[in-house]
Amino acid sequence: MSTDTVPTTVPTAPPPAATTTVPVREPRPAGPEPRRRIGGVRRSDVLALLGAAAAALALTTVVFVRLAPFNGPLGFVVLAWLTFVGCYALLVSLDEDGPTVRDRTVAVVVHSLAALLLLALVVVVAYPVSRGAKAIFWHGNFFTEDLSSAGPLLPLNRGGILHGIVGTLEQITIALIITIPLGLASAVFLNEVPGRFTRVVRTVCEAMTALPSIVAGLFIYATVIVTHRVERSGFAAGLAITVMMLPIVIRAADVVLRLVPGTLREASLALGAPQWRTALFVLLPTARSGLATAVILGTARGIGETSPVLLTAGFADGLNLDPRHGPQVSLPLMTFKLVGSASAYDVSRGFGAATVLLVLVLLLFVLARLVGGRGPGQLSRGQQASRVRASRRDALRYARRASAAPDSGSTPE
């Protein structure tokens, strides 16, 4: 009798799992995190610019002096700039890839063109200042006298531009009196009254922004001076300036009023206010800073016009305080007349008048920048402080009413 043996298997324990160690992140030290610098100028960029500039100057000099029969400073500057851009692209390509080379080359072109425009602006401003500095800064009578007692052969210690300053201020005041209500009313009409006629008015306003100034002067000369027998005066010049300022103010105010949120109009109309009260008490106060900027920009455009004033105001050497009668000169017209004179003294006076006009326009643009720094509906610091003070007064008034109320628990209405 045989016995079968059954093999027995002893279970073995599974192999131990591999233990993985998780790195513990050390805590960051307390303090502000250092800022990462993602831009800036590297040393290689500066060396590439300097090397390209030196190579362009040397190569342009060789071309102009030895190789080609070129002459003139303008051609030298243009060729030097083109050579500079090419040399800079070549130097950058030695260390960078294609997209970086294109990016650096375009950046150099854009910055160099911006520097050229800035240089042109500096030359335009500095030239009349340098030519008129002798009349402005060396003689105190320049702003207190007119030219009625000063001939072209008299020195600069006689005569001034007082009559030009007064004429400019009076004419621009007349233009503002007409332009501000008409311009703002037209802008509100363009935004609040849609329709086919609105599109026609907007198209006409946009076309009039490119109207030549001589055409505005001819229009006032034909319709006011010739037709209605009005003499040349500061009033006629103010009307001509109005024609130039009005489309600028309308277009700028139209753009500003479009930025006012439509929810403000809807809220006002939902409360039962008519459309004219909505426009007067909601739309215009909200866009007040932008509308002021539009008016200032139109003033800066009209204050420097010469052609309309030349046809409508005439020319006078003396001071005329009455804009309704007699010729009245302005600073642009005075500059135009004096700079074309054969006398060196009159030329210096003309450049002095141009400098004063530049300062006035610059002040207007700075004022427009300061006033237009806030968007529609944004409050200035003074307005925010007044709102906080008003809220505090209301809170104190409510607390006093609550303390004076009876103890029955009834809340004051």
Average confidence score pLDDT of the chain:
82
The model's confidence at residue 341, banded by pLDDT at 50, 70 and 90, is: confident
pLDDT at 396: 83
Using the predicted structure, report yes or no on whether residue 180 has a pLDDT greater than 90.
yes
Using the predicted structure, report yes or no on whether residue 98 has a pLDDT greater than 80.
yes
Q: Where are the domains of the chain?
A: 43-132, 162-378
Q: What would the DSSP string read from start to end of 181-240?
A: HHHHHHHHHHHHS-SHHHHHHHHHHHHHTT--HHHHHHHHIIIIIITS-PPS-HHHHHHH
Say if CB 313 and CB 329 are below 8 A apart. yes
Q: SS3 of 367, please?
A: helix
Mean pLDDT to the nearest integer, 311-316: 86
pLDDT at 32: 62
The model's confidence at residue 236, banded by pLDDT at 50, 70 and 90, is: very high
Q: Which residues of 362-387 are buried (b: 16+ CB within 10 A; e: fewer)?
A: eebeeebeebbeeebeeeeeeeeeee
Q: Which residues contact 313 (CB under 8 A, 6 or more apart)?
A: 167, 171, 232, 233, 234, 236, 237, 327, 328, 329, 330, 333
Mean pLDDT to the nearest integer, 132-152: 81
* Architecture of domain 162-378 in this structure: Orthogonal Bundle (1.10)
Q: Which residues contact 412 (CB under 8 A, 6 or more apart)?
A: 398, 401, 402, 405
Spatial distance between the Cα atoms of 140 and 103, rounded to a whole number of angstroms: 54
Using the predicted structure, report yes or no on whether residue 52 has a pLDDT greater than 80.
yes
Spatial distance between the Cα atoms of 276 and 141, rounded to a whole number of angstroms: 52
Using the predicted structure, report yes or no on whether residue 413 has a pLDDT greater than 50.
no
pLDDT at 408: 47
Residue 194, Cβ neighbours under 10 Å: how many? 9
302 vs 13, 19, 185, 216, 319, CA distance in Å? 99, 84, 19, 11, 21
Least confident of 36-40, 267-271, 361-365, 406-410: 406-410
356 vs 22, 147, 334, 365, CA distance in Å? 76, 16, 12, 14
Among the listed residues 323, 139, 142, the one whose alpha carbon sits nearest the alpha carbon of residue 236 = 323
Residue type, position 362, single letter: L
Spatial distance between the Cα atoms of 97 and 363, rounded to a whole number of angstroms: 47
Mean pLDDT to the nearest integer, 239-268: 90
